[in-house]
Each structure stands twice: as structure tokens, then as C-alpha cells.
Amino acid sequence: MGKEKSERSAFQLKVPKGTKDWEGKDMVIRDKIFASITDVFKRHGAVTIDTPVFELKEILSGKYGEDSKLIYDLADQGGEICSLRYDLTVPFARWLAMNSSIQSIKRYHIAKVYRRDQPAMTKGRMREFYQCDFDIAGVYDPMLPDAEIIRITCEIFQALGWEGKFTIKMNHRKILDGIFQVCGVPTDKLRAISSAVDKLDKSPWTEVRREMTEDKGLEAEVADRIGEYVTLKGSKELLERLQKDEKLSANESAKAGLADMGLLFTYLQTFDVLDQISFDMSLARGLDYYTGVIYEVVTEGSAPQTSEGQAGQRTGKKESRSSKPADGDEDRSNDPSVGVGSVAAGGRYDNLVSMFSGKQQIPCVGISFGVDRIFSITKQRLAADASAAAIRTNEVDVFVMAFGGKGFDGLLPQRMAVAKRLWDAGIKAEFSWKVKPKLPQQFKAAEVNGVPFAVILGDEELAAGKCKIKEMGLPDGHPEKDGVLVEMVDLEKEVHRRISRSAAPTADGMSDAVERMSLDEVAKTEPKTS
């Protein structure tokens, strides 16, 4: 018994590292983010699917490059070796391969994914987190689906109140491969060198060059030639400069990639989103399945807090990643060298479906939004903005109250009847679960939850067939400060009218608050495209 008691007392009640419970205002903010993203997805004609939270390990193996070490493997259950899904893209490709009758689809998927990464919880870097994916599968004329994905991305961040506060970094795998070929990288080292270039977000060129030459066996002069290209960034003028490069123009891969980018830039100009784009030659995206255009979204809150990290972000540098082991246990939320990272990322992956089907090739392009990273930045901005509207934890519009003098019985049946009438009319309402509640306690309950209106019942008013509607929070001296008497028969109509004209903040008011929010002092300079 003594040993059993000792073991019980040593048990620590907690959630696993890299995970968290969600409640209260955090849930309100996150649900608003979900709703904003979903609205845009539906606006563009997408349908939704769902897939299992775990897949056969062989489905996920070999699809993520160096990041494959971050996959969570599960114990053998009945002879099937499974792993928790790392993203929503590979399961989508597997689903397409299994449903051969579907040759084209616009699909969105909102679900949790899992990675054995080092957590930084307050920065949205977690081991269990939500992704919101939008993908277009099918054979279409070049770059039209890609352009719509970028347009969708801009619409989402505008809906979230991020207007002018984000940059979409963009590159093309064929351009990168062409650069590597022109510079003399052996074919068997293309992906390894691409992975090294992808680290230019967190490391200076000297360190990336060292990795290429010392760790990956690349000749020094080849690395130097690569450095002349991958440190470039800009916009249309950079594209024009690369198109005039005779060496790149003579390379079929680079030539095809540059043609794609030229066409894409034309479409993005038509969609009026080209000013959000930074053509960044250091962007490589570590995942192996990308075949064409690649992109990721950063904001001034994405960068590490160190001056070096902030400077990198302002010039379009990619997210910082930890160089410590993937299974490290410490939470790095307070590490100034760790930033939130990119808040969305994606690209074209034309060959992934055929890896599963063996013959059926369905070109795909898509993007994934990291809700927890978006949430982290949004919450920080709301906290920094003194003018931001209060976030309510529920959406109740009316609190039904009662008051009386000596002999007051609480009017519970009457309060319940009024609440029922309001519910039947589609109005969100609550009342106190005390038989004889005191009026100050009822007002306090309404104020705590930010309920904008009160319906107040009294014996004399009810006897006259009336009740009082009071808008909460009106200033002293306002003509309706103490409420307005209305006929009981008109109650639902009067409440609806007041709710519709009210500007009181609700859960949906979060986007208005975000639109007014100020930027963090440490990151006043927004990313620019040159």
C-alpha cells in the first residue's frame, strides 16, 4: 500500500510537451481565425474532406526530406506500422490515388497534425497543431491555379486584419535546380544542397557554404557560384535580370521555371496582389515533394526577437528553426533566437499522387495555413493594442433579469418563459439559475460575459403587459441609461431591432479589433519588396 501511495503522489497531472488545452478567449480568437479562413475557401468553390489522424508509415516515409525525423511513429497494432500525420498534403495525395474517378478538385481540410519538433508554445511552435489546407488538383493551363492560391492567401490575411502586414516569399524549384546544375552541383546532391540553402533564414551565407563544402562534400568553387544567386531577392526586376542571364537561359530547368514565374507575375498583377510578393532566391522549402513554384508567408511577428533575426525578417528572410535535437524537451518560448516562423506555406507538387498510384499523375498545387502561429501573432497584437475591443467568451445577446421589493419571489417562471421566447426567436439569451437572484448579481453576471442587453422583469411592469430593455454600458446622462419600457407582445421584435443596430462587440468583433491593432515595438518596420 505504501508503494502504491508513493507512486500516486509522484504522478504529475499535465498535458504532453508541445501540446496545450484551449479555453476561454483563446478559443474565441482561434474560432474566428477558422471562420475567416473557411469563408475564403468556400468563396473560391472548395469542398472539404477528412482523413485519418494516422497513416501507414510507408505512406509518409520518404516524402519530407530531412524533416522525416520529426514524424511520430506509433506502436505496432495488429501488424500495421502507423505514424501520426505530419501534414495534410500527403494524406490528400494518397486519397486522390485511392479515388481514381476524381481527376480534378478544389479541396480544403482543417485538422490537427503532429511533429516531434522542439516546442515554443507562446510562439505557436507546437507538437500538436492545426493546419488549414487549400489545394487545387487537376490538369489546367499553366499557373492559373497557382495564381488563385496566392489570391486566396491574400484574401485570408486581409480578412484577418493583416492588410499590409504580411509578405509572400516566392521561388521556383525548377529555377533552383537550374541554378544548381549551372553551378555544377552533381545530380545526386541536388536535394541535399537545396536543404542547405533553405537554412539561409537562420544562418549567414558563410555557415551555409561551410555545410555545403564540409558536410555535404561540394566543391568550394561550386558553392561560391551558388552564393551569387541564392542571396538575391526582389520582384519583377529580379525576374527580368535572371531571364537575361545567358547561363540560366541555356538551362532547360531554369528556363521553364523563369517562364512560369513570368506568367504567374502577370496573373498576380491582374489579381492585384503582386505588391505582396517577394521573389526570394534563398527560399527552397525542405519538403521533397515540391516540383514547381514554392512560397511561404511571413509577417513582422515571424522573426526572432534578436536584432539579427529581425533584420533578416525585414528583408524577407525565412523562419528560424532550432538546431537542437528534434526530441528536445525544453520549451523555447523565451529563446530570442526562435521566432514564430512562416504562418503559411505551400507550392506545386505534380508527382506526389503518382508516387502512390504508380501510373495516375494528377498535378496539384496548394497552401497550408498554420493556425496556431497565426493565433500567436494575433493574440500578441491584440494584447499590445489598448484600443482593441474586448474579446467575449460567449455570444449571448440578452440576459433576462428580474427585480422586486418586499415579498419578491424571483419571477423564475416568468424569466424562464421570456428566455424560451427569445430562444424560439433565434436570440441568444441567458438567465440566472437562482430562484431569487439579487439584481446586482444578475447585472454582474451579464457584465462579466459582456452581454450587450438586459431584459428586466418587474411585477408592476408585467401586470401592465410590459418589460424593460436596457442596453448595457451606456454612459451616465444617456436618455436610455435606465432602459426603455416595451410591450411584452413586441419583445422579440424590439430585441431584434436593438441587436441589429448595436455596435457592441461580439465574438465576431475580433477582426475589427485586429484591424485597429498596432504593431509590436520591436518590429515596426514591415517586410518590403524591392
The pLDDT value recorded for residue 343 is 92
Structure confidence at residue 181 as a pLDDT band (50, 70, 90): very high
The pLDDT value recorded for residue 314 is 39
Averaged pLDDT, 138-151: 96
Q: In what order do the strands lie in the sheet with 429-431?
A: 429-431, 398-403, 453-458, 466-471, 484-487
Averaged pLDDT, 421-446: 94
Give yes or no for residue 509 having a pLDDT over 70.
Answer: no
91-117 pLDDT, tens digit each: 999 999 999 899 999 999 999 999 988
Give yes or no for residue 332 having a pLDDT over 90.
Answer: no
Averaged pLDDT, 148-158: 96
Q: Cα separation of 149 and 157, whole Å?
A: 13
Range ranked top by mean pLDDT from 197-201, 254-258, 302-306, 377-381: 254-258
Instruction: Please report the sign of the dihedral spanned by the C-alpha atoms of residue 117, residue 119, residue 125, residue 129.
Output: positive
Give yes or no for residue 239 having a pLDDT over 80.
Answer: yes
Averaged pLDDT, 383-405: 79
Structure confidence at residue 144 as a pLDDT band (50, 70, 90): very high
Span of 134-148, 170-184, 305-319, 327-341 with lowest mean pLDDT:
305-319
What is the pLDDT of the chain when averaged over all its residues? Answer: 84
Averaged pLDDT, 132-141: 96
Give yes or no for residue 229 having a pLDDT over 50.
Answer: yes
Asked if 127 contacts 18 with a C-beta cutoff of 8 angstroms, the reply is yes
For 480-498, b/e burial (b = at least 16 CB within 10 A) is: eeebeebebeebbebbeeb
Task: State whether residue 462 is helix, strand or coil.
Answer: helix
Task: State whether residue 521 is helix, strand or coil.
Answer: helix
Range ranked top by mean pLDDT from 78-82, 120-124, 383-387, 469-473: 469-473
Q: Which three cell numbers stand for residue 467?
A: 418589460
The residue with cell 503518382 is 354
The pLDDT value recorded for residue 409 is 93
The pLDDT value recorded for residue 123 is 63
Range ranked top by mean pLDDT from 242-256, 306-320, 367-381: 242-256
Averaged pLDDT, 376-389: 73
Q: Cα separation of 302 and 381, whole Å?
A: 12
Counting residues of the chain whose pLDDT is more than 70, the rounded percentage is 83
The pLDDT value recorded for residue 11 is 74
Q: In what order do the strands lie in the sheet with 233-234?
A: 47-48, 105-114, 128-137, 364-370, 344-348, 293-299, 166-172, 277-280, 233-234
Counting residues of the chain whose pLDDT is more than 90, the rounded percentage is 57
Indicate the DSSP class of residue 475.
P
Give yes or no for residue 524 having a pLDDT over 60.
Answer: no
The pLDDT value recorded for residue 342 is 86
Beta bridge partners of 485: 468
Give yes or no for residue 145 having a pLDDT over 90.
Answer: yes
Asked if 331 contacts 403 with a C-beta cutoff of 8 angstroms, the reply is no
Structure confidence at residue 335 as a pLDDT band (50, 70, 90): very low
Asked if 263 contacts 142 with a C-beta cutoff of 8 angstroms, the reply is yes
The pLDDT value recorded for residue 389 is 60
**Nearest 10 degrees: CA dihedral of 422, 424, 427, 431?**
40
Averaged pLDDT, 151-158: 96
Within 10 A of 439 (CB to CB), how many other CB atoms are there?
15
Comparison of pLDDT for 497 and 203, the residue scoring more: 497
Give yes or no for residue 322 having a pLDDT over 70.
Answer: no
Asked if 432 contacts 442 with a C-beta cutoff of 8 angstroms, the reply is yes
Give yes or no for residue 373 having a pLDDT over 90.
Answer: no
Within 10 A of 137 (CB to CB), how many other CB atoms are there?
24
Comparison of pLDDT for 332 and 272, the residue scoring more: 272
Structure confidence at residue 449 as a pLDDT band (50, 70, 90): confident
The pLDDT value recorded for residue 104 is 94
Give yes or no for residue 306 having a pLDDT over 60.
Answer: no
Structure confidence at residue 133 as a pLDDT band (50, 70, 90): very high
Q: Which of 500, 455, 453, 456 is CA-nearest to residue 473?
A: 453
Averaged pLDDT, 478-503: 89
Give yes or no for residue 393 having a pLDDT over 80.
Answer: no
38-74 pLDDT, tens digit each: 999 999 999 999 999 999 999 998 888 777 888 999 9
Task: State whether residue 460 is helix, strand or coil.
Answer: helix
Structure confidence at residue 388 as a pLDDT band (50, 70, 90): low
Asked if 419 contacts 430 with a C-beta cutoff of 8 angstroms, the reply is yes
Q: What pTM value is reported for the model?
A: 0.77
